[in-house]
Amino acid sequence: MLAPKFMNEIFYGQKNFLKSQENFLSDLNPYMLTPEVWIQMQQQLVKANDEEPSLTNSRQATPSANDEFALFKPTLRDSIFWCIYVAINGEAFYQSQLKSGTNMINLMMNEKKTISEHFNKNTNLLKNSNHKITLAKINEIKCNLMTKPIMDSVESLIPCSIYYGRPIYVYFEEIRSYLYFSDKNYVSDEDDNSKIDPNIILLLFKDGRFTLETNVSNFLEKKDSFFYIQHYEKFLSGISNYKTDEIREIYKTVFGEDADLKKPEYYEKVLVKISLHIKIL
C-alpha cells in the first residue's frame, strides 16, 4: 500500500518541510480539515444531476437576464435550509458568501438560533400553521431548530413559512403530489387575484434532494391535476371518507397508471406510496 503523497514528501526528502515551523504548517494546509476544506468536500459530495425537463422547469439551461435564479440546487448539506435561505436572500448573495470564505455552517446555525429564539418568545405563533399540530409537537419543532444539525423533514417548513411570512409549496414529482405550508393569517401582497403571489416559495423534491424553483406559474396552472396532501403526517383521510372512484383517481395520480383493485387495496397502496416518499426525508 502506497503512503500518502505528503508523507513521501516529508520522509523521503522530496520536500523539505522542516526548514521552519511556518513552512511546515503552510505546506500541510491543503491536507488539514479546515472549515473551508469541509465546505468544499460537502460541495463535491453532492453531484448535480443532469438537468431533465420537469413540470416546473420549462426554461432553457441559462437563466434570462430578468431571472436572478431559475433553478437552484444546493451543494451544501441541508437542502431544505439552503433552498429557503436562497429564496429569501437571493442566489447572488449566497454565492458571494461562499466565495468570500464565510463559514456556512456557522451562518446556518446562527440563522436557526434566531428562528428558534423568535418562537421561544412567541410560542403561540406556531399554532398559526395551516397544519394542525399539538403543543407537544410545537415544543418538538422549537427544540429541533437548535438541536438537529440539519432540517431533515418537511415539518421544518412550518416554522420557516411563519417566520419568513412566505407560503411554501413542496412538489413531489415522482408521485405527482404536493404539500402546502403557510401562516393561516397570511395575506398576499398581490391585490390582483389573477396574478401570481410573488412571495410563494416552490420546492421540488426528487431523488432525495430539494431544489428551489421559480417557475411558480407553471406549477400553479397544473396543481389541480396533482394530489394535494392536506397534512404532512396524515396523508389521507379515513377510508370511509372516500368513494371507490375517488380513491381510484388518487391512485391513478400517484402511480401514474390505472389498476382494477378493491377500495381497501387502492387506499393501502396510495398510503404506502406517499409515505415512502415523504418519510425518506
pLDDT tens, position by position, 27-73: 555 555 555 554 555 444 444 333 333 444 433 333 333 343 358 88
CA distance 210 to 153: 11
Question: At the top level of CATH, which class does the domain 69-186+193-231 belong to?
Answer: alpha beta
Domain positions in the chain are 69-186+193-231, 235-281
pTM here is 0.74
Which cell goes with 244?
Answer: 371507490
Q: State CA 149 to chain mean position distance.
A: 14
CA distance 192 to 54: 28
Longest dimension (CA), the chain: 82
E strand intervals along 150-226: 168-172, 177-181, 201-206, 209-213
pLDDT tens, position by position, 206-261: 877 899 998 899 999 999 999 999 999 999 999 999 999 999 999 999 999 999 99
